[in-house]
Amino acid sequence: MPGFRGISQSRQHTGAMSRYQRHIFVCINERPKGHPKGCCLEKGSAEVRDTLKAALNARGIKDAVRANNAGCLDACAYGISMVIYPEGIWYGGVKKEDIPEIVERTIINGEVIERLLMPDPKYKPAALHFPKLQAT
C-alpha cells in the first residue's frame, strides 16, 4: 500500500499518536517452565510478532504502524496476547495464521475481530469499528 506513512503534521497536533497511526504490542514474556500463569513466549508469541512485522512490511505500512515486543500484558489466561493502540483492542489466543486477517481487518480497515477479543469485560474496546488507516 504505497502512500501510507506516519501521521501528517496536522494530525500530530490533534492529540493523535505522534509517529504511528497504530502501535501493536505482542506479549513475549517468558516465565519459568511450569509457572501457573503460563508463558506467551512458550506458546509461540515471538513467531506471531515476526509474522506480524513481515506482514506490515509486505503491505507497505510499516511506517504508519509499529509492532513491538511487550513484557507481560497481564492477560496470560487468554494465550498469546496482543494490544493495539490507540484504540485499545485486546486480542487473545492469537496465532500466526490470524495475522493476515488482523492486518487487513483491524490494522488497515479499523474493524475489530470479535472472535479474537479477550472475553473479560475489562478488555472490551470502546467500539467495534475505528477509523481506517490514513494515507498521507
Question: For 25-34, 65-74, 114-123, 125-134, which range has the lowest pLDDT when averaged over its residues?
Answer: 25-34
Kindly provide the residue ranges of all beta strands, DSSP E only, lying in 1-136, ordered along the sequence: 22-27, 65-70, 82-85, 89-91
pLDDT score for 136: 58
Q: 96 by DSSP, 3-state: which?
A: helix
Q: What is the CA radius of gyration of the chain?
A: 15
- What topology is assigned to 9-123 in CATH? Glutaredoxin (3.40.30)
Residue ranges per domain, the chain? Answer: 9-123
Give the integer Cα–Cα distance in Å for 96 and 71: 19
pLDDT score for 82: 96
pLDDT score for 120: 93
Which residue has cell 509517529? 19
Burial degree of 127 (CB within 10 A; 0-12, 13-18, 19+): exposed
Query: In the predicted model, what is the mean pLDDT of residues 1-5?
Result: 47
Phi, psi for 101 (deg, rounded to 5): -70, -40
Torsion, CA 78, CA 82, CA 84, CA 85, rounded to 10: 90
pLDDT of 43-101, one tens digit each?
A: 889 999 999 999 999 999 989 999 999 888 888 888 899 999 999 999 999 999 999 99
pLDDT of 10-46, one tens digit each?
A: 343 344 546 899 999 998 888 878 777 777 878 889 9
